[in-house]
Structure 1
Amino acid sequence: MSPWPRDTVGDDSAVALAEVSASSQDAGAFSSGKLSGFLHLQAALRHNLREIAAERGSYGNIDSKRTINNYALHGPDTSTAAMGIAKGIVSTADTEGKALRKDAVVGIELIFTALPKTKGDLVEYFADCTRWAEAEFKAPLLSSVAHLDESSPHCHVILIPLVKGKMNGARLYGGKTQMSARLSSFYETVGKRYGLTRPEVRVKHPLGQRMLLLQRCADVLAKTMLPGKQIQALLKPHKADPLPLARSFGVVFRGARAEPGSFIDLMTA
């Protein structure tokens, strides 16, 4: 699946694989990112329209034999034509006599993924996602392309952040509060019709609490007589978010303390 902007050198040379440092949000079937500068916009379009030769080889998850099944829901079938349209739209913006910054957000890219639990017709699902994006952002729709040549079918939608005659990508993209409301809108308007529900929002607990939970989980595991190295190996994948594991062990917070339940009782229940 395509990430956002990557730098290119020449028309079909290798691409720098580092993902853009601009912010992105991810929540199950719907993720988004900002495209800063025309170079990044062009790179995203070239990826979406499968114009980067290096991506069609052994690199990545693209199956070139299935690329023929990709299709466009909106926009030109070449990045050159799409860039011409994009620059034409941007040129109409009121910049108050100032030149547009080279790193200005000139595109917002949304990715809609068909998860294994997605029900209904795939073509209709991506069409509904595209219509929702255009209505939700109220910004010019530049491109919408469905990819069926990677591990999970998904659709890339690119909008030009021209609102009320001005380019304001950062404000249109919004912060966490606005994105949260937007996610709710997507799952309510589109997702639920296709069997999708909004993923539970995970809260990252302070380091001290996470370390306390991990220690309590280790205490529970120690009662099973497992060697220390095995306990460490079991706990390592849960270091960033130990709460689900702690809950399964019966470890719960009580103020600043955590009390372990019985792992033996849990396993023999």
Structure 2
Amino acid sequence: MDESSNDKCIFRITKINEQRQLRAALAHNLRLENTPNINTGLSHSNIHAKGCSTIDACMKRYESSIEGLKIRKNAVLAHEVIITGSPDHMNKLTKLEHIEYFNAAARWLIELHGGKLSNLLSFSVHYDESTVHAHILLVPKINNKLNSRAIIGGARGRLSELQTEFYERVAKRFGFTRGVKNSRAKHEHYSELKNLRSNLRTTANSLALAKIEHAKIIDELDNSKRVLTHVQNELKQIRRLEYTALKARIAQLEQNISRTYRTR
């Protein structure tokens, strides 16, 4: 199959090993942080699963899902899955077809992750980036245990198997094709992308703080100028008063001298 095909389905799955990493993913997916490279004017079109629109609500689902489980120190706590497709084909689908595509993917993923809806932590569809896509977070809970290996596996070929299964079970009926197996095409790893985004956010925050500090300095400078102008005006007034008082004293002395001479 031609690797340049513009109707490929896209399926990405990554591991989440820490709760802070899970919270960061939720903050991004729910648009609760400053996210670069999005069209904020379209963010109102984003869709979030009912009951999964806040970090607290999603974390409550997570806590409920893992309640009673023994969590290993190096356990994978969740999987994040990104579902989309080649931009050309995604643009051909209607919004209803987008939702049907993402819902079908979510149902397949829930089945893959133990079959319980409670293992679904969040489901967000983003319309405010260049290509519509879905972020789906799930707990890898199989037979009442956290078992990411049972889903993703340890073999290098397992991801390719999952991509094939996703194509056959979900994407095929929406007109997508499967990408070339074991393709050498380079895809930027999602964790690297997140790091780049994190660095960009840090830079943006630093720039924002610098702008705030600059504004403070300008305000302080303006205040200093106003104070200096006030002091200069006060000095001028004092000088005028001193000059007037001095003239009055001289006039008084001249009068006294004049009287003294007249009395002689």
Unaligned stretches of 5+ in structure 2?
1-7, 187-264
Q: Work out whether 1:40 is the aligned partner of 2:21.
A: yes
Q: Work out whether 1:150 is the aligned partner of 2:122.
A: no
RMSD of Structure 2 on Structure 1 (CA):
2.2
In structure 2, C-alpha distance between the alignment counterparts of 1:85 and 1:105, rounded to whole Å: 16
Judge conservation of contact 2:23–2:55 (CA < 8 Å) in 1.
Answer: yes
TM-score, normalising length from structure 2? 0.59
Q: Deviations over 1:74-105 (max 9, x none)?
A: 54210111112202211221x2xxx641x531
Cα 1:87–1:202 change in 2 (3 A) is same
Judge conservation of contact 1:144–1:157 (CA < 8 Å) in 2.
Answer: yes
Q: Work out whether 1:159 is the aligned partner of 2:138.
A: yes
Q: Work out whether 1:62 is the aligned partner of 2:54.
A: no
In structure 1, C-alpha distance between the alignment counterparts of 2:49 and 2:148, rounded to whole Å: 23
Per the alignment, residue 239 of structure 2 pairs with: none
Amino acid aligned to 1:190: V
Per the alignment, residue 52 of structure 2 pairs with: 76
Judge conservation of contact 2:59–2:121 (CA < 8 Å) in 1.
Answer: no
Cα 1:43–1:145 change in 2 (3 A) is same
Shift of residue 134, structure 1, vs aligned partner: 1.1
Judge conservation of contact 2:9–2:85 (CA < 8 Å) in 1.
Answer: no
Larger RCO (alpha carbons 8 Å, 6+ apart): 2
Amino acid aligned to 1:70: N
Unaligned stretches of 5+ in structure 1?
1-26, 205-236, 238-269
Per the alignment, residue 185 of structure 1 pairs with: 165
Shift of residue 138, structure 1, vs aligned partner: 2.4
Cα 1:197–1:203 change in 2 (3 A) is closer
Q: Work out whether 1:86 is the aligned partner of 2:62.
A: yes
Structure with max Cα Rg: 2
Shift of residue 192, structure 1, vs aligned partner: 1.2
Structure richer in strand, relative to its length: 1
Runs of 4+ in 1 over 3 A off after TM superposition: none
In structure 1, C-alpha distance between the alignment counterparts of 2:144 and 2:131, rounded to whole Å: 37
Per the alignment, residue 212 of structure 2 pairs with: none
Judge conservation of contact 1:148–1:154 (CA < 8 Å) in 2.
Answer: yes
Per the alignment, residue 128 of structure 1 pairs with: 104
In structure 1, C-alpha distance between the alignment counterparts of 2:150 and 2:169, rounded to whole Å: 23
Per the alignment, residue 169 of structure 1 pairs with: 148
TM-score, normalising length from structure 1? 0.58
**Number of residues paired by the alignment?**
169
In structure 1, C-alpha distance between the alignment counterparts of 2:126 and 2:183, rounded to whole Å: 32
Cα 1:74–1:189 change in 2 (3 A) is farther
Cα 1:81–1:201 change in 2 (3 A) is same
Per the alignment, residue 3 of structure 2 pairs with: none
Judge conservation of contact 2:80–2:135 (CA < 8 Å) in 1.
Answer: yes
Judge conservation of contact 1:145–1:155 (CA < 8 Å) in 2.
Answer: yes
In structure 2, C-alpha distance between the alignment counterparts of 1:136 and 1:192, rounded to whole Å: 18
Q: Work out whether 1:141 is the aligned partner of 2:120.
A: yes
Shift of residue 48, structure 1, vs aligned partner: 0.5
Q: Deviations over 1:45-69 (max 9, x none)?
A: 11110111x21xxxx3211111110
Judge conservation of contact 2:113–2:141 (CA < 8 Å) in 1.
Answer: no
Judge conservation of contact 2:114–2:143 (CA < 8 Å) in 1.
Answer: no
Shift of residue 176, structure 1, vs aligned partner: 2.6
In structure 1, C-alpha distance between the alignment counterparts of 2:170 and 2:108, rounded to whole Å: 7
In structure 2, C-alpha distance between the alignment counterparts of 1:74 and 1:111, rounded to whole Å: 19
Structure richer in helix, relative to its length: 2
SS at match of 1:43: helix
Shift of residue 195, structure 1, vs aligned partner: 1.1
In structure 2, C-alpha distance between the alignment counterparts of 1:42 and 1:164, rounded to whole Å: 25
Per the alignment, residue 6 of structure 1 pairs with: none
